[in-house]
Amino acid sequence: LAEGQGVPPSWLHSAGPIVFRPASGRTQVLVPSAVPDPRDLGTAAAAAAPTGRFAARTAGMTASEIRALFAVASRPEVVSLAGGMPNLAALPLDALASEVGELVAAEGQTALQYGSAQGTPALREQICEVMRLEGINADPSDVVVTVGSQMALDLITRIYCDPGDVVLAEGPSYVGALGSFAAYQARVVHIEMDAHGLVPSLLRSALESLARQGITPKFLYTIPNFHNPAGVTLAVERRPEILEICASYGVAVVEDNPYGLLGFSGTIYPALRSLDRDVVYLGSFSKTFASGLRVGWALVPPAVRDRLVLAAESATLCPPTFNQMIVSRYLQTQDWQSQIKTFTEAYRERRDAMLSALETYLPPGCSWNVPDGGFYVWLTVPEGVDTKAMLPRAVTARVAYASGTGFYADGYGSRQLRLSFCYPTPERITEGVRRLAGVLTAELDV
Ligand code: PMP
């Protein structure tokens, strides 16, 4: 974002997107065209809703492409590299079954009852133990248990953002977070990453440009470890710098870290929250234990906590007591850290299968990163291929992926796609990449 190429003051109300060119050269759209101007929302919503009764905020809600294709992509003959479903094959189901039985027998009256809106005290204590692995020293009274970290994202956006507010997010960013931002009519400004994660100089220049327009973003939303979808990890030496830049512009930091314990080399990076107690930290048991239990959490500064609990209460009254107590028992009775190691060994094997298939089969002109943890490879395809347009042809060829445009609020990403290696077997991954290569080669031949 070079000097003099800032955003005109009128941008918040312009009809179309405003484009600028950041230092790295790619054109970036500061105002996502996908989020309608708040002043037009009444009309847009009325037009979109046959009854004309839907709230204006629904105009920004869109179906994720992956979900739209879910029915076809989940057929057994299709190799799905699209979803980020954790691989639960290694879970000790027999041990869990007896834990669940014991929970009902011994503590059924409590487990099946309403509980605290903030979550059970026992689980909040254990969550603090889990976060200690990332260098976080937290008080259980600052933890709010949520229905997956997705709900924490929704609630954080709800309490921070009015329609038209700006949030910063990496480009690309997690599709579920973009969905929450759109649902509250927040506008997203993407900050590019390189192989070492979010680029501090680009963050600073975007903030400078916005400040010149009198705009202070509400927060920076960042996924520092084993990024979804980009697969990269924020360099440790960049972490204090990112925090310092945000603090100097009065911008809060929301750190979303569901993959932090899923590094393939066993390295656990220090959380941003371990460096700054004002960071809002989001965690989850979805990837380290069981996504179907829908247990996640937010660790927030005391000043944010009360509002967050009120928002949580109005959304769900309380998170599911039964599921929280299952997680508590699991953490107490099972060797959950060894279980995470078992998970990551399976993921590393799958990552290796994917990388070697990409090397073997993909046509020239493709590039991708080598993730050191997590679930995802981010692939850039040759000029002329549109990954969104190609998706139905890929599904016909019995392979599914997530096209890049879903991970940007501004329409960018048509030459990118995300491949998940978490769920299919290594053999299926190899076959899926082989099919994808065939589709790509056919696109290039047209
Ligand atoms: N954040 C990121 C970056 C994710 O990848 C996901 C799940 N794919 C979530 C949040 C939501 O996770 P959950 O609601 O299952 O905790």
Per the prediction, the chain carries an average pLDDT of: 89
Q: What is the mean pLDDT of residues 87-111?
A: 96
**Predicted TM-score of the model (pTM):** 0.89
**Euclidean distance between the first and final Cα of the chain, in Å?**
36
* Nearest CA, atom 8, ligand 1: 84
Residue 36 in contact with ligand 1 by CB distance below 6 A: no
pLDDT reading at 4 higher than 50: no
Going across the sheet that includes 367-368, the strands are 367-368, 376-380, 416-420, 402-403
pLDDT given for residue 445 in this prediction: 86
pLDDT given for residue 44 in this prediction: 52
pLDDT reading at 25 higher than 50: no
DSSP H/E element including 183: helix 175-183
Tokens of 129: 């133990």
What letter would DSSP give residue 340? H
| Interface pTM, i.e. ipTM | 0.99
Burial 388-421 (b: 16+ CB within 10 A, else e): bebbeebbebbbbbbbbbbbbbbebbbbbbbbbb
Closest CA relative to residue 151, chosen from 34, 298, 252: 298
What letter would DSSP give residue 91? S
Is residue 287 within 8 Å of residue 373, measured between CB atoms? no
pLDDT reading at 401 higher than 90: yes
pLDDT given for residue 48 in this prediction: 53
pLDDT digits (tens, 9 = 90+) for 29-63: 444 434 444 334 445 544 555 667 888 888 877 77
pLDDT given for residue 53 in this prediction: 86
Instruction: Indicate the top mutation candidate among 156, 198, 228 to test ligand 1's pocket, ranked by most ligand atoms within 8 A of CB.
Output: 228
CA dihedral of residues 86, 89, 91, 94 (deg, nearest 10): 140
pLDDT given for residue 66 in this prediction: 64
Query: Percent of the chain scored above 70 by pLDDT?
Result: 87
Q: Tell how strand 143-146 and strand 79-80 pair up.
A: unpaired
* Nearest CA, atom 13, ligand 1: 148
pLDDT reading at 209 higher than 70: yes
What letter would DSSP give residue 398? T
Residue 148 in contact with ligand 1 by CB distance below 6 A: yes
**Per DSSP, what are the bridge partners of residue 305?**
none
pLDDT digits (tens, 9 = 90+) for 112-166: 999 999 999 999 999 999 999 999 999 999 999 999 999 999 999 999 999 999 9
Is residue 137 within 8 Å of residue 143, measured between CB atoms? no
